[in-house]
Amino acid sequence: MKPDPPARQGAAQNLESIQDLFWELIAAPEGVRPGMESLRRQGRFPHHDLSAMVQGDERLAAEDRLDIYASMYFYRLRDCLAEDFPKVAAVVGGAEFHNLVTDFLLVHPSRHWSLRYLGDPFADFLADHRLGKKYCFLADLARLEWARIEVFDAPDAPVLTSDMATAAGPELSLRLIHAARILKVGWNVAPLWRGLEDEGIQGVHGSHSAAVVADEEDAFADPVAVPVPEQRPCALLVWRHEFRVFHRSLGVGEVNCLRALSAEAVNLPALCEQLVEQQARDGEGERDPQDTIREIAGLLGRWLADGILRG
């Protein structure tokens, strides 16, 4: 195989440098012109203007043309985050969410070719943001919304059915499906999420999102008044069954069992033993073994109905 001639190699390198420059300018937090000045100070923008890359005319200078791309890029990121966190956007309102996204992208600019991962650090960022201080439950609400996205994208796995469980008998091996998460939060945000869902707060594709009034392109949505949820440690199970995502609160006993099933496959006798040991550590004292068996049987019935066990 012959190597590319020097002229072609040079053209490829030049194209790559132009692409890098284009990206840095449209992603510059302060805008195209300040971005150019910053690159000039670093010695990375040798030209006096953008004419080598973008052609301006009497209507728009090259910088203004590139600013259009920069604005479109920001709004796409904002709408992506509004689609991922529609309940957060509804609570704070469109204008505050717009500013929140601006602050977030200054610290966490998009680094992946897919916008699917843009919101990964959003909840932790929100916990230290002024809006996270104003709405103390907001970061946990964001964590719930992100967990629902993660389980939606998780790999498929065959689901254990009642017939399969009956056929296996006591030596049935139990393990959680990939599309299930145990989420720990400090605020009971599940009822808040449900209330917002019942009000029809949903992400919308395209330029309209939870941050923008649906029939007015440039108008921001007002905040939705919500009750402050109860502050207490909660564990939520978040999972996908077929093409729908669900979540519900967990009791202490169920949390401990599901944690065991998320780490490795456990058979029914071993699961009963783990539950008895955990209850003893929690100071519940000795229990009738039949009570433990009935509790496990009840949990197993619910897990089978939820479709969270691997077949």
- Nearest by Cα to 122 from 153, 150, 155, 152: 150
Look at residue 28 and give its three-state secondary structure. coil
Question: For the residues 48-60, what does the mean pLDDT come to?
Answer: 75
Whether 13 shows a pLDDT value over 60: the answer reads: no
* DSSP designation for 46: -
Question: For the residues 207-217, what does the mean pLDDT come to?
Answer: 44
CB atoms within 10 A of CB 43: 7
Give me the chain's average pLDDT, please: 84
Q: How far is CA 46 from CA 3, 52, 65, 78, in A?
A: 30, 11, 20, 32
Confidence of residue 201 (pLDDT cuts 50, 70, 90): low
**What is the rounded distance in angstroms from the CA atom of residue 12 to the CA atom of residue 78?**
33
Contact 252, 161 (CB under 8 A): no
Class of domain 85-306 as given by CATH: alpha beta
Contact 78, 96 (CB under 8 A): no
Tell me, what's the pLDDT at 217? Answer: 52
- Alpha-carbon torsion angle 69, 72, 77, 82, nearest 10: 180
CB atoms within 10 A of CB 32: 23
What residues does CATH 3.90.930.50 cover in the chain?
85-306
What is the phi/psi pair of residue 301, to 5°? -60, -40
Q: Higher model confidence: residue 28 or residue 113? A: 113
Tell me, what's the pLDDT at 241? Answer: 93
Q: How far is CA 225 from CA 87, 89, 196, 254, in A?
A: 12, 12, 10, 33
Provide the percentage of residues in the chain whose pLDDT is more than 90: 47
Tell me, what's the pLDDT at 64? Answer: 79
Question: For the residues 250-263, what does the mean pLDDT come to?
Answer: 88
Query: What pTM does this model have?
Result: 0.82
**What is the rounded distance in angstroms from the CA atom of residue 187 to the CA atom of residue 106?**
28
